Amino acid sequence: MYEKEINKRRTFAIISHPDAGKTTLTEKFLLYGGAINLAGSVKGKATARHAVSDWMEIEKERGISVTSSVLQFEYDGYCINILDTPGHQDFSEDTYRTLMAADSAVMVIDASKGVEAQTRKLFKVCAMRKIPIFTFINKMDRDANDTFELLDEIEKELGVATCPVNWPIGSGKRFKGVYDRNKKAVMTFSDTEKGTKEGHTDVLPVDDEDKLREFIGDEACDTLLEEIELIDGASAEFNLDEVQHGELSPVFFGSALTNFGVEMFLKYFLEMTTTPLARKADKGIIDPVTNDFSAFVFKIQANMNKAHRDRIAFMRICSGRFDAGMEVKHVQGGRVMRLSQPQQMMADARHVVDEAYAGDIIGVFDPGVFSIGDTICMPGENFEYEGIPTFAPEHFARVRQLDTMKRKQFVKGINQIAQEGAIQIFQEIGSGMEEIIVGVVGVLQFEVLKYRLENEYNVDIKLENLPYEHIRWIENKDEVDVSRLTGTSDMKKIQDLKGNPLLLFVNSWSVGMVLERNEGLKLTEFGRN
Ligand code: G4P
């Protein structure tokens, strides 16, 4: 019905380790989309990014953004939705959940650093979903690691085959440009001139060797011709089907800061990546085009207005068209309702939407009825999308409530905050709500918890850090007698609020030991709600 609108949408997340250049690359994308006039105004670290999400006092105090946002812009006939995945200290479970709303991912890697910790974690979530992953190896204008070694590292560390779409000619001061393997042409590099979008680029067919030598020099030309032979012989053949199933990652080299290779990347990426993907529901696969409106909640943003405990629920539209004011069904709540104040983000501004399509993300006012993973569909329909997994926290603390008279507020507060998905709460097996252990993906969430309990629920707590770093859900919990599991000395048995057993470990190697000692035990890093 809305085929044209839906098929022009591309919804993706950018994943990277802090400082690899994600923000700079996003700025350059927006520049091509005409969404902003001057690169640098997306984040400007202290300004625009905050205008988007300075909802919580803590964000202002700390000068960081706790939330992730969505940017929409048009380019070359496409409607692009970029999901920002927060890094630095504000890394949280939301960062992972955002990936559940994306149809593909762009992985930005610093050419002098290679695969780093946070990229590895985010990559795992993308790989679990088998979504297409595109690699942009950034900062080629600085001295880079060996190209072959970089590709090797991605293949070995992340377990995905790579296929270079372009190939760098030198790096740092000797960076001459990239060779486009499709067009069999070299695009020469020159730094940007101040205030302009990009530097001057010449396009030289690789067959015209004399000209190539003249432009990039004999040494670079010899190396390039040798390397072309090597990669044509050794690297994986490009296969779109494998790309779209996340088995093969197309790799691009460039420099976001100098805007070199960015438009080339964007063009190839938009061609190669998928239109909004069909999503799994309990009644089968829901096709985005042939079905009426449906969506699922992937993120809840709390406390936009302290007086009202307002929340915003972010939904990914999975099928059909959304009209402001239309009646929809909240399946888990069993209620027909109108979604109020639906909003979308355009570059750095928030605005009310009248209509949106499969692939888009909208934020709606939530009076406290939605939970993460909930399904919204047409009133006549009744199905649930596959839930969003719970991601393994990496930091744990025991919570001590300071004023025992406020037990009720404490239990209510901590449960509500857990429901929004900012933290996960666990108990020692058999201890009830007396002993609560909180698990978070990023340590900032501990502060958020403390701050919110104090400010919203008037409850003071003390957090005692625990040494655990690894948590595993027991995949085959019905087949295993948890009380009889033999573990290592650093292992602790806990349960979540639904009574699912979990194991905590201080050391990662203990996970392997426990698997070895208990035959048939299956552990997983992703919990299911
Ligand atoms: P992030 O969002 O992934 O954390 O990275 P961000 O874009 O903020 O980039 C981190 C730093 O790396 C920035 O420098 C940025 O200018 C620089 N950078 C990004 N892409 C390139 C590139 O292609 N080449 C070079 N040479 N540098 C690049 P900064 O000094 O930390 O910040 P700023 O003061 O420039 O904002």
Measured in angstroms, how far is the CA atom of residue 21 from the centroid of ligand 1?
5
Measured in angstroms, how far is the CA atom of residue 394 from the centroid of ligand 1?
27
Cβ neighbour number for residue 112 with a 10 Å cutoff: 15
Q: Considering only CA atoms, which residue is closest to atom 26 of ligand 1?
A: 139
Could you tell me which CATH number the domain at 389-528 has?
3.30.70.3280
Q: Tens digit of pLDDT for each residue in 18-37? A: 899 998 898 888 888 765 44
**Residue in 17, 24, 31 to alter for ligand 1 test, most ligand atoms within 8 A of Cβ:** 24
Distance in angstroms (rounded) separating the CA atoms of residues 94 and 121? 13
**In 3-state terms, what secondary structure has residue 517?**
helix
Residue 59 contacts residue 46 (beta carbons within 8 Å): no
Q: What is the pLDDT of residue 279?
A: 96
CATH class belonging to 279-377: mainly beta
Structure token pair of residue 411 = 């239990």
Backbone phi, psi, residue 30, to 5°: -65, -35
Least confident range from 35-49, 115-129, 225-239, 275-289: namely 35-49
Query: Is a pLDDT exceeding 50 seen at residue 57?
Result: no
Backbone phi, psi, residue 210, to 5°: -60, -45
Measured in angstroms, how far is the CA atom of residue 492 from the centroid of ligand 1?
41
Query: Is a pLDDT exceeding 60 seen at residue 529?
Result: no
Distance in angstroms (rounded) separating the CA atoms of residues 494 and 392? 14
Stretch (H or E) spanning 89:
none
Instruction: Please give the number of the atom of ligand 1 that sits closest to the Cα of 16.
Output: 3
Query: Is a pLDDT exceeding 50 seen at residue 54?
Result: no
**Residue in 19, 22, 178 to alter for ligand 1 test, most ligand atoms within 8 A of Cβ:** 19
Measured in angstroms, how far is the CA atom of residue 72 from the centroid of ligand 1?
22
Q: Considering only CA atoms, which residue is closest to atom 31 of ligand 1?
A: 19
Closest CA to 101 of 83, 87, 114, 118: 83
Could you tell me which CATH number the domain at 12-61+105-272 has?
3.40.50.300
Measured in angstroms, how far is the CA atom of residue 29 from the centroid of ligand 1?
15
Instruction: Please give the number of the atom of ligand 1 that sits closest to the Cα of 256.
Output: 23
Q: What is the pLDDT of residue 346?
A: 52
Measured in angstroms, how far is the CA atom of residue 122 from the centroid of ligand 1?
20
Residue 438 contacts residue 425 (beta carbons within 8 Å): yes
Alpha helical stretches, state H, 69-208 = 93-101, 117-129, 147-158
**In 3-state terms, what secondary structure has residue 374?**
coil
Q: Tens digit of pLDDT for each residue in 330-382? A: 999 999 999 877 777 554 456 678 899 999 998 888 888 898 999 999 999 99
Q: Considering only CA atoms, which residue is closest to atom 24 of ligand 1?
A: 139
Measured in angstroms, how far is the CA atom of residue 251 from the centroid of ligand 1?
20
Q: What is the pLDDT of residue 353?
A: 81
pLDDT band at residue 384 using 50, 70 and 90 as cut-offs: very high
Q: What is the pLDDT of residue 319?
A: 98
Q: What is the pLDDT of residue 68?
A: 44
Measured in angstroms, how far is the CA atom of residue 101 from the centroid of ligand 1?
26
Distance in angstroms (rounded) separating the CA atoms of residues 501 and 482? 7
Location of each CATH 3.40.50.300 domain in the chain:
12-61+105-272
Q: Are strands 436-440 and 470-474 parallel, antiparallel or unpaired?
A: unpaired
Q: Considering only CA atoms, which residue is closest to atom 9 of ligand 1?
A: 21
Q: Considering only CA atoms, which residue is closest to atom 30 of ligand 1?
A: 19
Location of each CATH 2.40.30.10 domain in the chain:
279-377
The contacts of residue 222 (CB under 8 Å, 6+ apart) are: none
Q: What is the DSSP letter of 273?
A: S
Residues with CB under 6 A from ligand 1: 16, 18-24, 87, 138-139, 141-142, 255-257
Q: What is the mean pLDDT of the chain?
A: 86
Measured in angstroms, how far is the CA atom of residue 441 from the centroid of ligand 1?
25
Distance in angstroms (rounded) separating the CA atoms of residues 227 and 87? 35
Q: Considering only CA atoms, which residue is closest to atom 4 of ligand 1?
A: 19
Measured in angstroms, how far is the CA atom of residue 257 from the centroid of ligand 1?
7
Location of each CATH 3.30.70.3280 domain in the chain:
389-528
Q: What is the DSSP letter of 247?
A: S
Cβ neighbour number for residue 477 with a 10 Å cutoff: 16
Q: What is the pLDDT of residue 236?
A: 78
Q: What is the pLDDT of residue 145?
A: 97
pLDDT band at residue 53 using 50, 70 and 90 as cut-offs: very low
Q: Tens digit of pLDDT for each residue in 156-187? A: 999 999 999 999 999 999 999 999 999 999 99
Q: Tens digit of pLDDT for each residue in 117-161? A: 889 989 999 998 999 999 999 999 999 999 999 999 999 999 999
Return the axis-axis angle of helices 93-101 and 117-129, rounded to nearest 10°: 40
Q: Considering only CA atoms, which residue is closest to atom 15 of ligand 1?
A: 21
